[in-house]
């Protein structure tokens, strides 16, 4: 079985335990052989996927009422992967979601690292600095790059720690966040693990 | 005596205890009568102000080595106003600075409310929402506007509370932040209080 997570620019594929990223410009769902379970946020592909008999939409297995109506499919899938913990998906935005005993507790959305840096740059050329990931987030800063880094990262990192649950990191910037959470688990295929759990549960019914 | 704080678009004047904002397009320093102490971040006005004998630059009274070299003059002035506390200047950026016993401890810089909202909007039309200032920042969110509000405000508010010192709020968005800090002091003329303290100290020498 193939798992497929389709975004706005790429499709992530999991096949035989291996993850592969395909640019949407090169992505043709018709060439895939065998059953595929997929999550898709790209409206332009909706109709095409619906008409492929061996492509099955993972949303049909989700109990939507466990979550909130406008919550993104990838956020739901990473939550489905975890029974107990705080899940940080650090991509273009950073989503933080909390699961307790398999029940969704809510979450929040921060800006992603790149979008935050861009927003600082837009404010003033004096704030057009790179984040300094070596900075001590438990100290107040005394230069501009550190002030901006501490200003963005320290509140976020401390807020995630406040939840006081096991931390799971996924998304492209997960390795950067990993340095601030000594016990966090970095898992690049959390979305797929959520899909797999839903499929396993679905087939048991 | 008149105090004047010149930014990039407006000049704030304090005269007889009253604050007045003048757009720079209408600002002519030559028409002021009597002594003026000023802080200026607008390079285009530097030369003109230097040549006015009754205009005195407040930077001449500041011990710069107490702060860091690239620190903005307004941040230094609000720090000079406070002996002990955390000073939050909530404007286009939000600066947070800590003073202990009159000594600068460092600080950090967050995005301002407007710039943060704009950055969320740029990320996705789904995140183009207004902050909900009624939200409970101690709870995880379960809808998009609350997720974005909690994502930006809860980490920042909690980080400021972590400092565990008296909180002073200034800047245009101070009234919005005041609702999250029950004991905070909102002071719209903190920059001028810092200037006045420096002048009093300077004249005693």
Domain extent listing, chain A? 2-61, 69-196
| Segment B47-74 mean pLDDT | 95
Q: Does B96 touch chain A (CB under 8 A)?
A: yes
Write down the mean pLDDT value for chain A: 95
CATH superfamily, domain B2-60, is: ATPase, nucleotide binding domain (3.30.420.40)
- Residue B175 above 60 pLDDT? yes
Cβ within 8 Å, pair B70-A126:
yes
CA A95 to CA A116: how far, in whole Å? Answer: 14
pLDDT at A189: 96
- Residue A121 has, within 13 A of its CA and on its CB side, a CA count of 10
The reported pLDDT for the residue numbered A202 is: 86
Helix segments in A57-112, DSSP class H: 73-81
CA distance A145 to A130: 6
* Environment class of B119 (CB within 10 Å of its CB; exposed 0-12, middle 13-18, buried 19+): buried
Mean pLDDT calculated for residue range A132-142: 97
CB contact under 8 A, A140 and B105: yes
For residue B147, the chain A residues in CB contact (below 8 A) are 107-109
Report ipTM for this prediction: 0.94
Q: What is residue A3's predicted lDDT score, i.e. its pLDDT? A: 98
Torsion on CA atoms A67, A69, A75, A81, rounded to nearest 10: 30
Residue A71 has pLDDT above 70, yes or no: yes
- Residue in A96, A120, A162 closest to B111 by CB: A120
Where in the sequence numbering do the catalytic residues of A fall? 74
The three-class DSSP label of residue A175 is helix
CB B111 within 8 A of CB B151: no
pLDDT above 70 covers what percent of chain B? 99
Q: pLDDT per residue over B120-129, tens digit each?
A: 999 999 999 9
Other CB atoms within 10 A of residue B25 CB: 7
- A202's enclosing H/E stretch is helix A190-204
Is residue A142 over pLDDT 90? yes
For residue range B188-203, list pLDDT tens digits in order.
999 999 999 999 998 6
Which of A92, A123, A154 minimises the CB distance to B115? A123
Q: A205 pLDDT exceeds 90?
A: no
**Average pLDDT for residues B142-163, to the nearest whole number?**
98
pLDDT of residue B127: 95
Determine the topology of domain B64-195 in CATH.
Nucleotidyltransferase; domain 5 (3.30.420)
pLDDT score, position B202: 86
Band of pLDDT at residue A203, cut at 50, 70 and 90 = low
At A162-176, the pLDDT tens digits run: 999 999 999 999 999
Mean pLDDT over B159-175 rounds to: 97
Q: How far apart are CA A193 and CA B2, in angstroms?
A: 66
Provide the shortest C-alpha distance from residue A1 to chain B (in Å): 32
Contact flag A93-B143 (C-beta cutoff 8 Å) = no
Largest CA distance in chain A: 60
> Å from B2 to nearest chain A CA?
29
3 state SS of B20: strand
Write down the pLDDT at residue B41: 92
pLDDT at A70: 94
pLDDT at B204 over 80: no
**pLDDT of the residue at A29:** 94
Task: Examine the pLDDT at B89 and tell me if it is beyond 80.
Answer: yes
Q: What is the mean pLDDT of residues B85-94?
A: 97
The pLDDT tens digits of the residues spanning A4-56 come to 999 988 999 999 999 999 999 999 999 999 999 999 999 999 999 999 999 99
Residue for token pair 């996705």: B124
**Residue B111 pLDDT exceeds 60:** yes
A142: nearest CA partner in chain B: B106
Active site positions of B, annotated:
74
Question: In this structure, are strands B93-100 and B85-90 parallel, antiparallel, or unpaired?
Answer: antiparallel
Mutate: best of A8, A93, A105, A132, partner B, most B CBs <10 A: A93
B66 touches chain A (CB under 8 A): no
CA distance B70 to chain A (A): 7
Q: What is the distance in angstroms between the Cα of A8 and the nearest Cα belonging to chain B? A: 11
pLDDT at residue number A8: 85
* Confidence band for B69, pLDDT divided at 50, 70 and 90: very high
Residues of B in contact with A68 (CB under 8 A): 142-144
Tell whether A139 lies on the interface with B, counting CB pairs under 8 A. yes
Q: Which CATH class is domain A69-196?
A: alpha beta
**Is A161 an 8 Å CB contact of chain B?**
no
Architecture category of domain A2-61 in CATH: 2-Layer Sandwich (3.30)
Q: Which residues of A touch B151 (CB under 8 A)?
A: 94, 96, 108-111
Q: Is A44 on the interface with B (CB under 8 A)?
A: no
At residue B203, the pLDDT reads: 65
- Whether A2-61 and A69-196 share one fold: the answer is yes
Write down the pTM of the prediction. 0.94
Q: Is B90 on the interface with A (CB under 8 A)?
A: no
């Amino acid at each position: 079985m193939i798992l497929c997570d389709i975004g706005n620019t790429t499709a992530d594929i999991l096949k035989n335990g291996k993850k592969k990223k395909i640019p949407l410009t090169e992505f043709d769902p018709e060439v895939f052989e065998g059953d595929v379970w997929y999550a898709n946020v790209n409206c332009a592909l909706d109709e095409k996927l619906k008409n492929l008999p061996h492509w099955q939409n993972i949303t049909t297995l989700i109990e939507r009422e466990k979550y909130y109506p406008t919550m993104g499919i990838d956020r739901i899938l990473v939550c489905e992967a975890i029974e107990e913990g705080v899940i940080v998906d650090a991509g273009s935005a950073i989503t933080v979601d909390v699961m307790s005993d398999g029940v969704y507790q809510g979450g929040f959305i921060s800006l992603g690292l790149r979008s935050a840096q861009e927003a600082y740059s837009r404010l003033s050329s004096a704030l057009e600095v790179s984040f300094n990931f070596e900075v001590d987030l438990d100290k107040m800063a005394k230069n501009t790059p550190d002030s901006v880094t501490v200003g963005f990262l320290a509140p976020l990192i401390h807020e995630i720690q406040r939840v006081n649950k096991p931390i799971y990191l996924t998304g492209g910037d997960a390795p950067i966040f990993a340095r601030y959470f000594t016990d966090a688990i970095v898992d690049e295929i959390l979305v797929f693990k959520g899909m797999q759990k839903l499929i396993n549960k679905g087939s048991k019914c």
